[in-house]
Chain A
Amino acid sequence: MRRTDERAIRARNESAWLVPTGQERTNWALRGRMRRYDPGEEVDVAVVGCGAGGGTLTQRLARAGFRVVAFDAGPWWDPDRDWVSDEAGSHKLYWTEPRVISGKDPVALGSNNSGRGVGGSMVHFAGYVPRFHPSDFQTLTRDGVGADWPISYEDLKPYYEHIEEELPAAGEPWPWGDPHDYPHSAHPLGPNGEIFRRGARALGLRTAVGPVAIPNGRFGHRNHCIYRGFCLQGCKVNAKASPLITHVPDAVAHGAEIRPDSMVTQVVVERGRATGVRYVHAGREHFQRARVVAVAGYSIETPRLLLLSATPEFPDGLCNDFDQVGRYVMVQGAPQTAGRFSEEVRMYKAPPPEVSCEEFYETDPSKDYRRGFAIQTVSPLPITYSEHVTAQGHWGEVLREYMRDYVHWAVLGSLCEFLPRAENRVTLAEETDARGMPVANFSYSQGENDTKLEQAAQSVMEDILRAAGAEEVITIKRYAHLVGGCRMAADERSGVVDRNLRTFAVPNLYVTDGSVLPTQGSANPALTIMALAARCADHLKATARSGVVGEPASAR
């Protein structure tokens, strides 16, 4: 377990001490005291989207004295009143405005991919927070596939460490990639985790419990996990991390304004510089002036917003002179394999994220594919599990019989590093939303390497479950974790933002969410997105100090 200094964490981010103790999960007094800015007033930074990237950036900048307004299209959640301990009742957590999916392998969005509201998709993310491996930053050089990042693992490492302390991450010492410890020790295992470990042990595969963004032990005023298994429905307990409780409270305490239920419809650019954002709140349009704009609306909405913000100066959309916006959107192949055990498993107990195995993460020269995959426990609740069964083609009596057997099944999931492809992209569809704006069309097709990886991952999961004693295994092919679409690159011909997440085209416009990832590794992305946003905040602070043109004057 890594030694941490509570004082140092609080000096960086006091959020965990700003959530209330006692019977409420929301600090209403803090929300009531929030500073408010006039739209006509020019703030230092307008942040579009208050999820993993936007929430982290807002907190870091507010603490440094920047005047920040963070917009979110969705509500500012109260876990007590707004969230339920129920699958179907959690539908409102997802981004369900219309979107079109296409390509050879269309990717389901909504509940499977993106969230809406303060906290972003992390409100209903599972909670795994592994780091990327050092190799992820150089896949082109090392393996001849994917892309090299304009930064290295070492550039991000200090930010990984800080964010891990702030979430905080709990888990066993990590043997893969850059080996490291976690600030909190591993949680006790649930039934699904025990089965994974049993199977992996029989095959001689290393596993590690965690890393999950759920404190194990005291951390500020956050409550302890009650092992109720509804992490993907929003944690009513305030145990599982999301920016709603890990970064937004501290941001508000330091003068940031959160403007919920406010959908940004345009980043306004005049004479080559961003001047603010147009947004719709309660049916009315407003304009917020800002010296710097940071877009963090997720890999679908971020490219869409840039494309919608076209001007005569940028006729094909902002920052799109080289046809890069919306390209190289990635999803991890995420097949899940279920195994049938004669004993009762009852996988719905304990958080779905429990145990990981990254033994197959790196390129294995003996294989006919590059890069690799990770394996983790996933523990679908009944509705999600029914998709697993119908994916086998079962319906009627057979579907019912499989479902009736729910307590006997354990499920593993893998994350396969599917490679970036220029033709996997977000464009504007002809269909329009309720505001008359074209919706996003996300086209996706798998490559050959991807399909091989997916097969390999499936057979390893089947082996593990069989080694644990499964008498039958069934697999569903699916995708998880959309990233890319405005990737970070060395120059404007190969990406949208530079190593500091500043767009090449507009010097005071940034992209600070998962869209900037050039490759995706086999790790869940949220920690990396938060680390990148925290790093971008340091860059903004430094440029503000040095008085670089167009940077916030008030923070100088």
Chain B
Amino acid sequence: MTGRRHRRDAAPTPGGEGRFEGYDVMAQSPFWDPVTAAVVRGRMAQERALAFFTSEEADICRALLDLVLANHGAPRVPVLEMVDQRLFEGQTDGWRYEDMPEDGEAWRRTLRFLDQDAREAFGSGFASCTGDQQARIVQGVQDSDAWHGLPGRHVWSLWTRYACAAFYAHPWTWNEIGFGGPAYPRGYKVLHPGWREPWEVAERGAADPLPWSHRVEKARRAHELRLGGRA
């Protein structure tokens, strides 16, 4: 079970997924220190013009990021805009692999390669391929040792690091996963497994509504279906 739709206005989660019904971490923001609250609220200001990517790169990148994060339904976390901003500011992780270019250049190049692969395999640009076609190309990169002269796993590391760092910085994803978010100056008082703070929300139904193994199996099957029945 990947979750029922939430009432979006009350407690948004990406694509309306998640099991912590009604849990809205932003409702706690009055209890955060002003500096943290400003940083998190700023992150939620969605209207950002692209500063790093060209519009062509942006289309490819959005398709890639949304695919890697299964960021499909509304409301959609503006991951592309967040990654674009980060690259524009040159906010790297403080290192690069010797066999990869600097992050900004690596992004541009790998997006170009994705587009190239898509044209060769499916006759159209990456952004206009179907989700299944895109998934097959992307899985190919993860599986490859060398991809257009770059090590596949280092490309993969670049993409997933930037994608996840943006996505899981967004309060809607905290709503989805039940994370408490900033906790200063209030802190936590209830520290036992299985117990919650008064403002934390239980998962819908029982503590663990559907066995984990079923849920993850279902997600795996959906993923494999996308890849064309790949085992």
Beta-carbon contact of A396 and B193 below 8 Å = no
Q: Say yes or no for A9: interface residue by CB 8 A criterion.
A: no
Selected contact of A396 from candidates B3, B18, B69, B187, CB within 8 Å: B69
Selected contact of B69 from candidates A188, A400, A472, CB within 8 Å: A400
Question: In the complex, what residues of B have CB within 8 A of residue A348's CB?
Answer: 179-180
Selected contact of B223 from candidates A84, A102, A398, CB within 8 Å: A398
Beta-carbon contact of A396 and B192 below 8 Å = no
- Measured CB to CB, the nearest residue on chain B to A226 is B187
Chain B residues 96-151 with CB under 8 Å of chain A are 96-99, 102, 135, 138, 142
Q: Say yes or no for B231: interface residue by CB 8 A criterion.
A: no
A-B contact count (CB 8 A): 224
Q: How far is the CB of A69 from chain B (nearest CB, A)?
A: 26
Chain B 152-167 per-residue mask, 1 if CB under 8 angstroms from chain A, else 0: 0000000011001111
Report which residue of A390, A406, A407 has the largest number of chain B beta carbons within 10 angstroms of its beta carbon: A407
**Chain B interface category by residue count:** 35 or more
**Chain A interface category by residue count:** 35 or more
Given contacts A80-B35, A226-B185, contact A91 B173 (CB under 8 A): no
Q: Say yes or no for B27: interface residue by CB 8 A criterion.
A: no
Selected contact of A85 from candidates B142, B164, B183, B212, CB within 8 Å: B183
Question: In the complex, what residues of B have CB within 8 A of residue A404's CB?
Answer: 2-3, 17-19, 176-177
Given contacts A86-B182, A188-B191, contact A346 B94 (CB under 8 A): no
Q: Say yes or no for A341: interface residue by CB 8 A criterion.
A: yes
Q: Say yes or no for B55: interface residue by CB 8 A criterion.
A: no
Beta-carbon contact of A85 and B182 below 8 Å = yes
Could you tell me the dominant secondary structure of chain A's interface residues?
A: loop
- Measured CB to CB, the nearest residue on chain B to A189 is B191
Beta-carbon contact of A227 and B219 below 8 Å = no
Selected contact of B192 from candidates A108, A191, A399, CB within 8 Å: A191
Q: Say yes or no for B32: interface residue by CB 8 A criterion.
A: yes
CA distance A83 to B178 in the complex (A): 24
Selected contact of A89 from candidates B39, B177, B212, B215, CB within 8 Å: B39
Report which residue of B96, B135, B166, B196 has the largest number of chain A beta carbons within 10 angstroms of its beta carbon: B96
Question: In the complex, what residues of A have CB within 8 A of residue B182's CB?
Answer: 84-86, 230
Q: Say yes or no for B53: interface residue by CB 8 A criterion.
A: no
Among A50-58, A277-285, A379-387, the stretch in contact with B: A379-387
Given contacts A96-B94, A383-B168, contact A350 B32 (CB under 8 A): no
Residues in B lying within 8 Å of A, measured CB to CB: 2-3, 17-19, 32-33, 35-36, 39-40, 43, 67-70, 91-99, 102, 135, 138, 142, 160-161, 164-169, 173-174, 176-194, 196, 200, 203, 207-208, 212-213, 215-216, 218-220, 222-223, 226
Since A89-B39, A98-B95, A400-B70 are in contact, a sample of 12 more A-B pairs with Cβ atoms closer than 8 Å, ordered by chain A residue number, is A94-B94, A98-B102, A106-B97, A109-B93, A194-B192, A228-B183, A229-B183, A382-B177, A387-B160, A387-B161, A387-B164, A395-B69
A-B contact pairs, 25 of them (CB 8 A): A84-B33, A84-B39, A96-B91, A97-B94, A98-B96, A99-B94, A100-B97, A101-B96, A109-B93, A191-B192, A226-B184, A228-B184, A341-B193, A342-B212, A344-B203, A348-B180, A381-B179, A386-B168, A390-B164, A396-B223, A397-B70, A400-B219, A401-B216, A405-B212, A406-B177
Residues in A lying within 8 Å of B, measured CB to CB: 80-81, 83-89, 91, 94-102, 106, 108-111, 114, 188-191, 194-195, 225-230, 236-237, 340-346, 348-350, 381-383, 386-387, 390, 393, 395-408, 410, 441, 471-472
